[in-house]
Chain A
Amino acid sequence: MKTRNYLLPYSYKKVGMWMFLPFAALCVCLFFSVSLPEIKVPWIAIGDDIFYKGEANLITTLGMLGLLVSLCFIALSREKDEDEMTGQIRMQSFVWSLWFTAIILALGILFIMGLDFLTFTCAAIYLYFLVYILKFNLTMKAIRREGK
């Protein structure tokens, strides 16, 4: 019996890694409020009074979306030698990352107030992906080193 897995092919991981650098750099600039050129475009979204009808900064929107896509590609792609042990390490890393992010979020809820909290919660979403990627890849690296 085959269990369905929802992972992308391995090649997506490489694409994600190439995408990550420019988009991460852009998002770090946005996080630290570095002044960047603005490209305003008309935008409809969910917002004030149910629908937000106004403008969006294309640099910010594409930067955040690009970072999310690149992190998804890295985190949710198969390994070259994906098997049941990789699956278990993946699951353990997901749980570990969830705990870590939950603790950071709890600290943020307690100690960050005002608009900074909004920025923090936004960063926490990406933090989950980053911690998972780090934990998973470090564990895989250790196992590969052990096997040599």
Chain B
Amino acid sequence: MKNTVKVERAIKDITQQELAAAVGVSRQTINSIEAGGYIPSGVLVLKIARYFGKPVESIFELEKDD
């Protein structure tokens, strides 16, 4: 699953730590999501989308092999 969390974070000018605190996970988790190393749960995906005020599909996108 691809995502644009890093881009959204840059637009909003916030750090990984700030995003992590806002959605209730560790900074390492946000880092892993951005690097594509961890696929977040549905709840976390919704929380991130709500934080950025955008629909889920505009931040997270399924890849061919998903």
Residues of A at under 8 Å CB distance from B?
81, 83-86, 88, 143-144, 146-147
Interface contact B29-A84, CB-CB below 8 Å = yes
What is B's interface to A at a CB cutoff of 8 Å? 16, 24-29, 31-32, 35, 37-38, 40-41, 43-44
Q: How many A-B residue pairs have CB under 8 A?
A: 33
Secondary structure type dominating chain B contacts: helix
Q: Sort A-B residue pairs by CB-CB distance and give the 10 closest, nearest first.
A: A81-B26, A147-B31, A83-B25, A147-B28, A85-B29, A143-B28, A85-B38, A83-B26, A84-B41, A83-B29
| CB-CB under 8 A for A146 and B41, given A83-B24, A83-B26 | no
The A contact surface, by secondary structure, is helix
Q: Name the CB-closest residue of A to B39.
A: A88
How close is A43's CB to chain B, nearest CB, in angstroms?
A: 46
In the complex, what distance in Å separates the CA atom of A85 from the CA atom of B24? 12
A147–B35 CA distance with the chains assembled, in angstroms: 10
Whether A81 pairs with B28 at a CB distance below 8 angstroms is: yes
Please list 22 pairs of residues, one from A and one from B, whose beta carbons are closer than 8 Å in the complex, sorted by A's number: A81-B28, A83-B24, A83-B25, A83-B26, A84-B25, A84-B41, A84-B43, A85-B25, A85-B28, A85-B29, A85-B32, A143-B28, A143-B32, A144-B28, A146-B28, A146-B31, A146-B32, A146-B35, A147-B16, A147-B28, A147-B31, A147-B32
